[in-house]
């Protein structure tokens, strides 16, 4: 059925899946933020805790999903994930209390986005690419950042027309109706299913041997020192991101900007992250992975400082772009480094095991910033603290033992 190499269609399909699996529950959440506050009469600490609860739940589900993606059909798992994810979003529209909303977000939505998201798509890409896995994962994760460019403005528009409840229902119905046939038709688990080869190359002894690398159990993975250093670095980066980015919309409105301008600020952050995936994808081919990580974390921390200093609109947008540019390299770097450290055959298991260890650190960012805002009436201390978190991640990169050879 597919005469040309289907691997790049897999990359494009994975990018679209990543766009919706992250864009709706994460990037668009800041757009719903104020409406949820008003609806449920809750403080920013409570509302910002929703994302943290979702991430904690996703951390619980990740090891299970990691085992599933290594063993079962990714076509079927992604289809099931779309159904669960869509059903959860539809249910959000019918929640009458914040705690009902929190339970749905932290259970059904979290499970759906874990099955229908980066863990499955990265495993899928590792089935199709070996030599070009860095570029392939980088392009696929670009969809995550682009989701912040497109999904928040759509959410702002729909909320303006129909309200936040109907907007969640529309998103949920769309996911189910569109992505079930999408996954059934376009997702192919591995090249051999349609008589193609990894990287669209003839099989060689070198490729066969690399695919046949040792299967690792959980104990083997936990014994690798690099596993723990990667967890510390990326969980701190994600913690600082949640501590600032999840508050960008309310922060912009606090500065006096209307909902449309605040929504643009969120999208600029996503555009910065998308640019970061391209920039750092090229950079990792030019310098070592360790140096690339240093640059990524340093730029993110510098951007957070700038966000806290500038209150005029256009300097603020530039600051948000720079902050997100630094963060943009983190997800493809994480996927690439886990895949290269543990090999594609153990990728799903290793990353799935890592997520629960990352969660306790990264979930602190959003609620802590909300709590500091509730106490102080501004985000100054919260943003300074998240800058310090970035520089702590910068220090941990020193302890990362990664070869200086090119990574893709």
The confidence score (pLDDT) of residue 213 equals 58
The confidence score (pLDDT) of residue 404 equals 52
The confidence score (pLDDT) of residue 179 equals 94
Note the residue count of the chain: 408
Please answer whether residues 295 and 283 qualify as being in contact, where contact means their C-beta atoms are separated by less than 8 angstroms.
yes
The confidence score (pLDDT) of residue 216 equals 78
pTM of the shown model: 0.74
Say which residues have a Cβ less than 8 Å from residue 252's Cβ, sequence separation at least 6: 261, 262, 265, 316
CATH of domain 7-399: 1.20.1250.20
Per-residue pLDDT of the chain (408 residues; tens, 9 = 90+): 556 888 888 999 999 999 999 889 987 887 898 899 889 888 777 887 888 788 888 888 888 887 788 778 888 999 999 999 999 999 999 999 999 999 999 999 999 999 998 888 888 888 888 777 767 877 888 888 788 778 888 998 999 999 999 999 999 999 999 999 999 888 988 888 888 887 777 654 444 443 335 777 788 888 888 899 999 999 999 899 888 887 888 889 888 888 788 888 888 887 888 888 878 766 776 777 778 888 888 999 999 999 988 889 999 999 999 999 988 878 778 877 787 777 767 777 787 888 888 888 887 888 888 888 888 888 889 999 999 998 899 899 888 776 554 543
Q: How far is CA 210 from CA 205, 214, 233, 281, in A?
A: 9, 9, 28, 23
Domain ranges of the chain: 7-399
């Amino acid at each position: 059925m597919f005469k040309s190499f289907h691997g790049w269609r897999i990359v494009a399909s994975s990018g679209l899946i990543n766009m919706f699996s992250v864009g709706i529950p994460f990037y668009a959440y800041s757009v719903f933020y104020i409406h949820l506050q008003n609806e449920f009469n809750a403080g920013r600490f409570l509302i910002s805790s929703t994302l943290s609860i979702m991430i904690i739940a996703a951390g619980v589900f990740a090891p299970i999903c990691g085992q599933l993606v290594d063993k079962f059909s990714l076509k079927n798992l992604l289809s099931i994930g779309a159904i669960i994810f869509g059903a959860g979003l539809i249910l959000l529209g019918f929640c009458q209390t914040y705690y009902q909303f929190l339970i749905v977000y932290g259970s059904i939505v979290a499970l759906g986005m874990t099955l229908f998201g980066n863990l499955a798509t990265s495993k899928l890409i590792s089935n199709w690419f070996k030599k070009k896995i860095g570029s392939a994962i980088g392009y696929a994760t670009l969809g995550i950042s682009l989701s912040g460019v497109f999904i928040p403005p759509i959410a702002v528009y729909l909320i303006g027309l129909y309200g936040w409840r109907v907007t969640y229902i529309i998103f949920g119905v769309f996911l189910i109706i569109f992505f079930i046939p999408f996954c059934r038709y376009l997702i192919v688990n591995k090249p051999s299913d349609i008589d193609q080869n990894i990287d669209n190359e003839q099989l060689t002894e070198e490729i066969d041997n690399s695919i046949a690398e040792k299967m690792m159990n959980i104990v083997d993975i936990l014994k690798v020192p690099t596993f723990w250093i990667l967890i510390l670095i990326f969980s701190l980066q994600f913690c600082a991101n949640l501590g600032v980015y999840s508050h960008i919309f309310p922060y912009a409105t606090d500065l006096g900007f209307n909902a449309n301008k605040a929504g643009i600020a969120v999208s600029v952050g996503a555009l910065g992250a998308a640019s970061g995936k391209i920039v750092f994808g090229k950079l990792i081919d030019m310098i070592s992975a360790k140096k690339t990580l240093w640059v990524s974390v340093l730029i993110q921390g510098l951007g957070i400082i700038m966000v806290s200093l500038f209150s005029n609109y256009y300097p603020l947008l530039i600051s948000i772009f720079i902050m997100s540019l630094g963060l943009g390299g983190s997800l493809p770097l994480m996927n690439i480094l886990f895949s290269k450290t543990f090999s594609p055959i153990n990728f799903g298991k290793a990353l799935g095991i890592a997520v629960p260890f990352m969660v306790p650190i990264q979930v602190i960012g959003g609620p802590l910033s909300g709590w500091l805002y509730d106490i102080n009436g501004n985000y100054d201390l919260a943003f300074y603290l998240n800058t310090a978190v970035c520089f702590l991640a910068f220090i941990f990169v020193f302890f990362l033992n990664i070869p200086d050879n090119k990574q893709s």
